[in-house]
């Protein structure tokens, strides 16, 4: 059965690949994008363009969130899938510990996109997800946001702003999953792995398609999916 999905940051990388794979499965995807020119180019690359539509969405501008809610409610009446994919990493080189060097503005912008924007958008859309027969909220996180791994594996990158924003997103995932535990909404954080995207670079071991496939499989589980988990390829990651 066709589901209605919203994927943020859908003009490139994992967001575009998620859109591609979901539309291939017959779902209709609203591609949340900030740049209209990039949006058109991304939409035109899709083999199943009839199953996707771009929608202007700036994660740093919460004034756009009620409009997104109204558009979905008016057009579809509900939302089945929300993938919070949009994110930034402004710390610089992965090998540098940026705890004392991160600029104030970069720290704030990282949290605006990676945490505050996601929380406000998701909270805005929860009423539409509650109208679904089997809804899924996927928060794209990272193992670099795992406090356990940061504490036990010295080689883990110490990009302070990025890591901390993902740790905060993990906390939100747990809180929201608990709040919605008696509903048909599944809420999970996912570490996609190091993938070949603009952020991951061309030497990453995973293609975007390989990184996204387990996320699509998780969504396909519907009400039988776990909730309140931090997952990588279906296996739990330590928070």
Write out the two tokens for 75. Answer: 């057009």
Per-residue pLDDT of the chain (239 residues; tens, 9 = 90+): 789 999 999 999 999 999 999 999 999 999 999 988 888 999 999 999 999 999 999 999 999 999 999 999 999 999 999 999 999 999 998 989 999 999 999 999 999 999 999 999 999 999 999 999 999 999 999 999 999 999 999 999 999 999 999 999 999 999 999 999 999 999 999 999 988 887 777 887 789 999 999 999 999 999 999 999 999 999 999 99
Any idea what the CATH number is for the domain that residue 35 is in? 3.40.50.720
Q: Measured on CA atoms in the order 204, 208, 213, 218, is the torsion positive or negative?
A: positive
Dump pLDDT digits (tens) for 145-155.
Answer: 999 999 999 99
Q: What is the pTM of this model?
A: 0.97
DSSP 9: S
Secondary structure in 3-state letters for 117-148? HHHHHHHHHHHHHCCCCCEEEEEECCHHHCHH
| Residues sharing a CB contact under 8 Å with residue 180, sequence separation 6 or more, in sequence order | 126, 130, 187, 227
Question: What three-state secondary structure class fits 188?
Answer: strand
Dump pLDDT digits (tens) for 136-173.
Answer: 999 999 999 999 999 999 999 999 999 999 999 999 99
Q: What's residue 231's pLDDT?
A: 98
C-alpha to C-alpha distance for 212 and 202, rounded to whole angstroms:
16
Question: What three-state secondary structure class fits 103?
Answer: coil
Q: What's residue 204's pLDDT?
A: 76
C-alpha to C-alpha distance for 7 and 4, rounded to whole angstroms:
10
Q: What's residue 150's pLDDT?
A: 97
Other C-beta atoms lying within 10 Å of the C-beta of residue 198: 8
Write out the two tokens for 157. Answer: 């990158």
Residue-range definition of the domain harbouring residue 113: 4-236
Q: What's residue 203's pLDDT?
A: 80
Consecutive H or E run containing 28: strand 28-33
Contact 219, 19 (CB under 8 A): no
Q: What's residue 69's pLDDT?
A: 98
β-bridge pairing 52-56 and 28-33: parallel
C-alpha to C-alpha distance for 17 and 23, rounded to whole angstroms:
10
DSSP H helical segments within the chain, as ranges?
13-24, 36-44, 65-75, 104-111, 117-129, 147-152, 160-179, 208-220
**What torsion, rounded to 10 degrees, do the Cα atoms 234, 212, 220, 191 define?**
40
Specify the number of domains making up the chain: 1
């Amino acid at each position: 059965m066709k589901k209605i999905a919203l994927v943020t940051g859908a003009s490139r990388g994992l967001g575009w690949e998620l859109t591609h794979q979901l539309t291939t499965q017959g779902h209709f995807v609203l591609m949340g994008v900030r740049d209209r020119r990039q949006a058109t180019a991304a939409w035109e690359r899709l083999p199943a363009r009839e199953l996707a539509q771009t929608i202007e969405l700036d994660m740093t501008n919460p004034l756009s969130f009620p409009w997104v809610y109204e558009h979905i409610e008016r057009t579809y009446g509900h939302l089945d899938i929300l993938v919070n994919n949009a994110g930034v990493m402004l710390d610089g080189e992965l090998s540098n510990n940026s705890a004392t060097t991160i600029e104030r503005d970069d720290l704030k912008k990282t949290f605006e996109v990676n945490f505050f924007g996601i929380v406000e958008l998701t909270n805005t859309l929860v009423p539409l997800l509650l109208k679904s027969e089997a809804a899924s909220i996927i928060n794209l996180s990272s193992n670099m946001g795992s406090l356990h791994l940061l504490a036990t594996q010295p080689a883990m990158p110490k990009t302070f702003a990025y890591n901390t924003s993902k740790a905060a997103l993990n906390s939100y995932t747990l809180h929201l999953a608990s709040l919605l535990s008696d509903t048909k909404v599944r809420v999970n954080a996912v570490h996609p792995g190091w993938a070949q995207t603009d952020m991951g670079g061309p030497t990453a071991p995973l293609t975007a398609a390989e990184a996204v496939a387990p996320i699509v499989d998780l969504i396909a589980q519907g009400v039988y999916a776990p909730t309140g988990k931090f997952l990588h390829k279906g296996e739990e990651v330590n928070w």
